Amino acid sequence: MNNQKEEFLLTKIVSTLGPASSTVSVIEKLIEEGVRVFRINFSHGTYQEYEQLLVRVRDASKKLNIPIAVLGDLSGPKIRIGKVVDGGVDLQIGQLVEFQKEPIETQVPTSGNIKFSTTYASFCDEVIPGEKILLDDGFVRLTCVEKRKGRLICRVEAGGVITSSKGVNLPDTDLSVPALTEKDIDCVKFAVDKGFDYLALSFVRTAEDIRQLKEILRQNGARTLDNSALSQIEPTLEEVKDQLEGIIPVISKIEKPQAVDNLDEILKETDAVMVARGDLGVEMDLAEVAVTQKRIIKLCRENGIPCIVATQMLQSMIDLPTPTRAEVSDVANAIFDGADAVMLSGETAIGKYPVETVRMMKRIAERSNAFLKAEPLASPPHMHSRKSQHRTAALAKSVYTVVKELDAKFIIVWSSLGGAAVYMSQQRIPRPILYFNPYESALRKTALLYAIQPIYMPYQTSNTAFFQTVDQWLLKHSWAKNGDTIVFVVSEPITRLAGINEMVIHNVGDPI
């Protein structure tokens, strides 16, 4: 078993790996400071570099004896400006510019309009007059005013310098571009082969985008059987292990207005959600982003869907050793709203202070969760009926009541498939959930979820022996003291692989 005493962070920290955090020593320090999920961005780097990062995380996880999940982030169909002359071109308010289908190197013209091309072949076909074109994360804004054969004439509404490969956002345009590019499909195959724990799908617009990714996963040997199907059978231990290792949950990145409009259907299909506020903030009215974030977190909680809040959380720490007060409040509010995890992007990928940034986020999370723990438990979050009628879900609600009445210190879960730990996490009880499991893959996948502290334990054959082992272990490693109330959530008998049916209230140190 993992016997390392660690701080019990209820809200998890996701850290993006990059040049500033690619070494073994930095990865170990980030884990020690509280990172439980590492993101590898497939938009940058090579397969060799991705695999090297994956191996380093796995090695650090094994050395520190802490289960760590690795998330592969698919690039998606990002549209970019074509090649631009060195030094870029300066667009002025009121100026007319042209976009054309044929690739071109944009020059500073001696006469006529500046001409651009893009990486999206159907760009000039699908944008229509009146629609906005946003360049460079929305800092430069254009409006299409005229459509000619193979060309668009656009007026500059907010100017700036544009250089090669700047991003293009089309918030008003109904694009036919597929959610998964050929590069994405290759990355999916790579992720399945190397055993990534999660895949994030960029620029989701509809539930169909998620179904397409799931189908590609199945075609490549992943998601052959999901947890709900496992719970309906009595598989062997080897079958459980094989199936758990074959499942790669999908995280849908909500960064398009169309995704917000289709959120209810997306939540029925996805395994988790990421509020990706970068492109979302470009394509929506900025004043709407905070409200949209709160709405997404609320709906995720009601549907039992894990939720990550991402982008620019401690952005100033890319260059500075301390964040702004507004950034600290931003992180804390995401925690107060009930997010499972908060994510760092450039702060740890390319920033000057990756370790210090995680340390700061950990401090904010600790203080925010201490505040939540000190507040009286009110009632479990409302869950939609399709999620709440499962027997384990009903038991989880009972655990909430017991923890509230007895002020239990820990919730202890033994679950071969992991479903019971997930249901406990969904109740948002501000207490650590110590989740014991013999399968590394199951432990890693719960590392993202609120309050769950995944801990390896060899396969158990007796409920009484499990209770005694945990009791002695908590005392030995000073995680609890005699008299502390803990709540066990297990199957009776414990060897039963599907279906949790027992809750046991225990005071540490008492006879079993």
Question: The CATH number of the domain where 131 resides is what?
Answer: 2.40.33.10
* 188 and 287 part of one domain: yes
Question: Which residue is catalytic, options 253, 431, 444, 445?
Answer: 253
Tell me the two tokens of residue 98. Answer: 């042209």
Q: Are strands 167-169 and 198-201 parallel, antiparallel or unpaired?
A: unpaired
* 268 in catalytic set: no
Which pLDDT band holds residue 261 (cuts at 50, 70, 90)?
very high
227 vs 305 pLDDT, higher one: 305
Cβ neighbours of residue 472 under 8 Å, at least 6 residues apart?
none
4 pLDDT exceeds 70? no
Which CATH number is 415's domain given? 3.40.1380.20
Kindly indicate the confidence band of residue 236, based on its pLDDT and cuts at 50, 70 and 90. Answer: low
Q: How confident is the model at residue 395 (pLDDT cuts 50, 70, 90)?
A: confident
Question: Is 39 one of the catalytic residues?
Answer: yes
Band of residue 289 on the pLDDT scale cut at 50, 70, 90: very high
pLDDT at position 469, please? 94
| Higher local confidence (pLDDT), 231 or 306 | 306
Question: Of 11, 16, 311, 446, which one is the catalytic site residue?
Answer: 311
| Distance between CA atoms of residues 202 and 74, nearest Å | 6
Both 190 and 162 in one domain: the answer is no
pLDDT, mean of residues 377-401 = 68
Q: What mean pLDDT, rounded, does the chain reach?
A: 90
Which position among 36, 39, 141, 256 bears the catalytic label? 39
Q: Which whole number is the average pLDDT over 169-193?
A: 93
Regarding whether 278 and 204 lie in a shared domain, the answer is yes
Q: Which residue has the higher pLDDT, 348 or 422?
A: 348
Band (pLDDT 50/70/90 cuts) for residue 233 is very low
The reply to whether 184 and 317 lie within a common domain is yes
CA dist 173 and 151 (Å) reads 16
Distance of CA 133 to the CA centre of its chain: 28
Which H helix or E strand runs over 115?
A: strand 114-116
The one catalytic residue in 80, 148, 268, 391 is 80
**Does residue 315 share a domain with residue 436?**
no
Mean pLDDT within 62-67 = 96
Same domain, 447 and 488: yes
Active site residue 311: yes
Q: What is the pLDDT of residue 415?
A: 82
pLDDT the model gives residue 1: 54
Same domain, 189 and 285: yes
**pTM of the full structure:** 0.90
Per-residue model confidence (pLDDT) at position 229: 40
**Residues 411, 446 share a domain:** yes
Burial zone of 77 (CB within 10 Å; 0-12 exposed, 13-18 middle, 19+ buried):
middle
Q: How many domains does the chain have?
A: 3
Q: What is the pLDDT of residue 385?
A: 44
| Mean pLDDT, residues 357-383 | 84
Give the mean pLDDT of 288-298: 95
Domain membership flag for residue 289: yes
pLDDT at 494: 84
Residue 401: C-alpha distances to residues 81, 379, 396, 499 (Å) = 56, 8, 9, 21
pLDDT at 358: 98
In terms of domains, do 71 and 86 share one?
A: no
Inter-residue contact 369 to 340 (CB < 8 Å): no
Q: What's the rounded mean pLDDT across residues 130-151?
A: 94
246 part of a folded domain: no
Tell me what pLDDT residue 377 has. 67
The share of the chain scoring above pLDDT 70, in percent, equals: 91
Q: What pLDDT is stored for residue 392 in this prediction?
A: 74
What's the whole-number mean pLDDT along residues 390-406? 83
H/E element holding 20? Answer: none
Q: What is the pLDDT of residues 466-508, one digit of tens each?
A: 999 999 999 999 999 999 999 999 888 888 766 678 899 999 9
386 counts as catalytic: no
Residue 386 reports pLDDT greater than 60 = no
pLDDT in tens, 437-462: 998 998 999 999 999 999 999 988 89
Question: At 219, which amino acid appears?
Answer: Q
Q: Residue 315: give its domain's CATH number.
A: 3.20.20.60
In a domain, 373, yes or no: no
Domain that holds residue 479: 385-507
**Between residues 419 and 132, which one has the greater pLDDT?**
132
Q: Is the pLDDT of residue 91 over 70?
A: yes
Whole-angstrom distance, CA of residue 37 vs CA of residue 177: 30
The pLDDT of residue 232 is 42
Residue 375 covered by a domain:
no
pLDDT at 378: 59
